[in-house]
Chains A and B, each alone.
Chain A
Amino acid sequence: EPEVTQTPSHQVTQMGQEVILRCVPISNHLYFYWYRQILGQKVEFLVSFYNNEISEKSEIFDDQFSVERPDGSNFTLKIRSTKLEDSAMYFCASSEEYPGSSYNEQFFGPGTRLTVL
């Protein structure tokens, strides 16, 4: 069964450093998403991406964050200068677009645990 994959599974970085989290969405999916879950808190939406541009972003997704689809398979989240409060599980998700459908189910990857020291 197709699945979303993410690398690395765990990333440790020093405060102020740049990190890039990588995702390979399900191959025929057209919508891509990043979410995060800080320990003990809810899963929070960061950004959605469609047709090579951001379609929605939350207040969390400030200028320190960026997303990119550098090739036909990868979808990346970059944090330019990490802060302690960026420590969280980051989940990538993807969904297939049905013409005329109001919504599609999002399928999540296993997550990347980011630890900022």
Chain B
Amino acid sequence: DQQVKQNSPSLSVQEGRISILNCDYTNSMFDYFLWYKKYPAEGPTFLISISSIKDKNEDGRFTVFLNKSAKHLSLHIVPSQPGDSAVYFCAASANNAGNMLTFGGGTRLMVKP
């Protein structure tokens, strides 16, 4: 099942710079997208979401961009901090599917001091 894909398994950035995490999807029925952050031995922590009626949503240092025509979304973190180092998952849901989330495989972000 490759409905949601994160093609970069890892990303390394310098503290203070921008981190850009990417996610692609194939199911045109998806209408809501979320980003979660996960530390080892913990559950996913909700970060930010975006509805398909928008193309951008911003919350502090985190911004999610949605390009529906390309079926692509991205998470921008600026400025990046060492505490942002974690695995980031994008997830998608379709309103007609009981709100089940379909997850990507995750991208491990390492922010170097």
Q: Which residues of A contact B (CB under 8 A)?
A: 4, 6, 31, 33, 35, 42-45, 48, 55-56, 58, 91, 93, 95, 102-111
Contact = CB atoms under 8 A, between A and B. Distances in A.
Interface of B: 1, 31-32, 34, 36, 41-46, 49, 51, 89, 91, 93, 95, 97-106
B113 to A, nearest CB: 27
A103 B100 CA distance: 10
Contacts of B101: 33, 35, 43, 45, 106
Of residues B1, B31, B95, B98, which shows the largest number of chain A Cβ atoms within 10 Å of its Cβ? B98
Contacts of B97: 56
B46 A42 contact: no
A109 B44 CA distance: 8
Q: Would you call the interface of chain A mostly helix, strand, loop, or mixed?
A: strand
Contacts of B99: 31, 33, 48, 55-56, 95, 103-104, 106
The dominant DSSP class at the B interface is loop
A19 to B, nearest CB: 19
A108 B37 CA distance: 11
Contacts of B44: 43, 91, 108
Given A43-B89, A48-B98, A106 B46 contact: yes
Nearest to A3: B43
Contacts of B45: 108
Contacts of A43: 44, 89, 91, 101, 103
A69 B111 CA distance: 41
B32 A102 contact: yes
Nearest to B51: A102
Given A48-B98, A102-B31, A42 B43 contact: no
29 contacts: A4-B43, A35-B101, A42-B1, A42-B103, A42-B105, A43-B89, A43-B91, A48-B98, A48-B99, A48-B100, A55-B98, A55-B99, A91-B43, A91-B44, A102-B51, A102-B95, A103-B32, A103-B95, A103-B99, A104-B99, A106-B34, A106-B46, A106-B101, A108-B44, A109-B43, A110-B41, A110-B42, A111-B41, A111-B42
Contacts of A109: 43
